[in-house]
Structure 1
Amino acid sequence: MEFDLEDPLSCFKEQQAYTITELFASESDHMPAPNYLNSTHFRASFRCEAISLILQVQFSCNLDPSVAYLAINYLHRFMSRQEIPMEKPWLLKLVVISCLSLASKMKNTPLSISDIQIEGCIFESQTVGKMELLILGALEWRMRSITPFPFLHFFISSTELKDPSLKQVLKEQATKIIFNAHNDIKLLEYKPSTIAASALISASRELCPQQYTMLRASIAACENLDEDSLTKCIDLMQEMVMWTEANESTIDTSFLSTETPVSVLERSIKRRRI
C-alpha cells in the first residue's frame, strides 16, 4: 500500500483509526533530533549538497515532489543522529541514494538503483541495502513520516470558510509553499503542524487578504500550537514566499540539460539574502 503524506498513520485510506490528537502527539518523533542545527552532526555544506543531489534526481527522473520531500525528511532525521565524516564525501552520496530509494519504496514509485546513481559514485544494490538498514535503525523504523500535509485539512476545517473552492485553492497554495520550504534551513526547528499552519496563513494573505485576519486568528487558536513559535514561523514563511515570487521568473533552469550536476539549492542561496 502506497504511503500517503496526508494520511501517515493509517495503512488503509478507508480505515482512519487515529485522531488529529495522535498526530500532534507523535509529530516530534518525525523531526530531526533536538538542537540538530547547533550540533556537531550538522554540516551546512553537507546538507546543501545532499538536498541539491535529491532535487537533481527529482528533476532528472521526473519524480513526484512527495518522493523528494520524504527523502529529505529521512535525510535530516538521519543526519541529526548519525555523523557523516566530511573526509568521506562519497558516503553522503550513498546516504542520498539510500534515502531516495527508501522514499520511492514508501511511495510505491518505480525507481531502480541504476536510475539514481550520482555522477562520480556507482554503488552496488547490496551496498545501498546496507545503508538503508542503517538509516532505518537510526530512524527507529519510523518511515511513515508525519509531515505538515496531514494538518492542512484540520486547520482549514477550523476556520469559518464556507466556499469549497476557496478551501481547495488555499490547500493547494499551502502545499506548494510547504514543498518549497524544505530548502530553508531556518524552518527545520519548527514542528510539522506549525509549518502547516504558517503555510496556510501565508497562503491566505496572498489569496484572500480580506479574510486573512480571521483565518490567522482561527488557526492560531488551536491549543496544540505555540503562539510564539507560530509567529516566528509565519514571518520566516512569508519572507520565503516573497523571495520566491521575486525570483521565480529569474531562476536559471538551463542546468537541467547539462551533464554537470549543478546545485539547485546553492543557486537559490546565492541569490537570497540570509
Structure 2
Amino acid sequence: MAIEEKSLLDALYCSEEKWNDVVEDINDDDVEIDTHTNTNISPSLFWDDDELHSLFSKETQTHPNPIHPSLSLPRKESVAWILKTNSHYSFSPLTAILALNFLDRFLSTLPANDNHPWLMHLAAVTCLSLAAKVEETHVPLLLDLQVEDTKYVFESKTIQRMELLVLSSLQWRMNPVTPVSFLDHIIRRLGLKSYIHWEFLNTCETLLLSVASDPRYTMYLPSVLATAAMLHVIRRLEPRRAAEYESQLLSVLTKNKGEVDECYEVIRELDSISNTGLSFHGLKRKMCQGQDGEILSDSSSVCKKARVEQQQQTLSPLSAN
C-alpha cells in the first residue's frame, strides 16, 4: 500500500476539500452553527474573511511613512539594540516587531536633521518599553531595561516623558497591524495547531526580525512582508512544491505577485548573509522526527535532504582524519 506523503506545508494547500475538512473537524462546542439555515459553510469562515478584510483596511493606517535617508544608520543601530534587549529578556518576537513599528512610525515624524544619537537611543528604549507593556506580562523597570550596549542611561522620568511624546506622535494607536497579524491569521485559518506548525510560524518571525534593520523593511506593507517571508520558508523547505503553495497563499492573501516577488528577493538577499539558515535545518529535523505524532513519509524531499545533511555533519570529522 502506498504511503501518503505528508508535510507540514500541506496545510497551506487550501483546496475546497481541505476547507470542507476544516469545517467538518470543528468541534460543536467551539463554534455555534445555526441549524435552521440551509448552508453547509461554517460561519467561522465568513468571520475569517471579515477579519482578513479588516487587517487589509487597517494595515495602511499604522504603517510608517517613508523615513528620511539620513536616519537609516541611526535606525539600524536602534533596531539592533531593540533586538538584543528583546532577546536578553526573552520577550516574544511580537514584542520586538511592535517596538519596531512604534520606532519607525515615530522616526517618520522627525525632520532630517533631528538624528542626534542620544535621541535615537532614547526612542529605542521608549518604543521597546511601550511594546513590552502592551505584550508582556512581566516588564522590567525602566532602568533595568537599559542593559545591552547602552551608550546613554536615561532616568525613568525622562523615559516616561518620552513615552508620552511617542504616544502622541502615534496618535495613541498601540495595536497596529504587523506581519505577525497575517502570519497568525494564516495559522489559525488553515487549522495549523501542532508543534511543528508553530515552529513554522516562529521561523517566519525570526526571519522577519533578521531583516528588520534594513531600511527596505519599511517599504513594504505587513501583508506583503508576511507573504514573502512564508514563501521564503516554503521554498527553503520544499522547493519542488513551492509554486503550488505560492498560488494558494497569494489566493488567500490576495496580494500582487510582482510586489511580493520584489519583497521576497530582498528577504532572500538579506537572509543569505544572516544565520537564519540554522532555523531551517532545525525545523527540517523536527519535521522528520514527527513531533506531536505527525510523522513524514521517508519519501519526503525535506526528510531526505535533512538526513543527508546530518550524515555529512557526522562523517566530516572522520574525513578530516
Note the alpha carbon deviations across 1:76-99, whole angstroms, 9 max, x for none.
110001237557322222211111
Instruction: Choose from 108, 118, 139 the match for 2:170.
Output: 139
Q: Provide the residue aligned with 1:111 in structure 2.
A: 140
When Rg is computed on C-alpha atoms for both structures, the one with the higher figure is: 2
CA distance in 2, matches of 1:58, 1:245: 18
Q: Provide the residue aligned with 1:47 in structure 2.
A: 75
Q: How does 1:156-167 map to 2 (within 5 A)?
A: 167=197
CA distance in 2, matches of 1:166, 1:148: 20
Instruction: Choose from 208, 214, 224 the match for 2:238.
Output: 208
CA distance in 2, matches of 1:69, 1:162: 22
Instruction: Choose from 122, 127, 144 the match for 1:94.
Output: 122
TM-score, normalized by length of structure 2? Answer: 0.62
Structure 1 position 247, deviation (Å): 8.4
CA contact (8 A) 2:130 2:163 kept: yes
CA contact (8 A) 1:84 1:92 kept: no
1:230–1:128 CA distance, 2 compared to 1 (3 A): same
Structure 1 position 198, deviation (Å): 0.7
Amino acid in the other structure paired with 2:100: I
Q: Provide the residue aligned with 2:57 in structure 1.
A: 25
Of all paired residues, the percent bearing the same amino acid is 26
Q: How does 1:56-205 map to 2 (within 5 A)?
A: 56-83=84-111, 85-86=113-114, 88-108=116-136, 109-117=138-146, 119-155=150-186, 167-205=197-235
CA contact (8 A) 2:210 2:276 kept: no
Q: Structure 1 unaligned runs (5+)?
A: 1-13, 250-274
Between 124-133 and 194-203, report the one with greater CA deviation.
124-133
Q: Structure 2 unaligned runs (5+)?
A: 1-30, 32-46, 280-321
CA RMSD in angstroms comes to 3.2
Amino acid in the other structure paired with 2:95: V
Note the alpha carbon deviations across 1:200-249, whole angstroms, 9 max, x for none.
11111111222211011112234641222111011112222232249879
TM-score, normalized by length of structure 1? Answer: 0.72
